[in-house]
Amino acid sequence: MHDSERVIMQVACTSYDSGSKLVAAMLDNMAKLAGSDRADILSGPAESAFGWDFYPVAISRAFVQQLANMPENDIWRMKGANLDEKFATWLNRQLKLRVEGVQVKLLSDLKSSRFGLF
């Protein structure tokens, strides 16, 4: 799956109920701060494997750019070769500050396995 208009990530969480609510709340809050629309963020159904729940999230590149250009965050200072990678690193850092057992990977980084690597 490739979409040039969206950053596509896979979310992995040990508890889908709490993890997905946290990710959704964080992304909703970011959308409000950036003056963006919730339609810029789409998520798909979860699948379980190895004690983890995995589900896709697609975020508008325009929204990611808007968020990265806000002065109060440090997305541009994160490690990564491009904005997608920097955003994924930044989002993981934000999640880690709030809860354990939730992480994101860019779909393009997932090389093998039906469920991806985390």
Q: Which residue has the higher pLDDT, 40 or 116?
A: 40
pLDDT of the residue at 1: 52
How far CA 79 is from CA of 10, 90, 91, in Å, comes to: 19, 9, 12
Q: What is the third-level CATH fold of 6-109? A: Alpha-Beta Plaits (3.30.70)
pLDDT of the residue at 111: 53
pLDDT tens digit sequence for 62-110: 999 999 999 888 999 999 999 999 999 999 999 999 999 999 999 888 7
Residue ranges of domains in the chain: 6-109
Angle between helical axes of 16-34 and 61-68 (0-180°, round to 10): 70
51: burial class by Cβ within 10 Å (0-12, 13-18, 19+)? Answer: exposed
Tokens 């109060």, residue located: 72
Report pTM.
0.86
Bridging pattern class, strands 6-13 and 52-60? antiparallel
pLDDT tens digit sequence for 25-41: 999 998 888 888 778 89
Contacts of 72 (CB under 8 A, 6+ apart): none
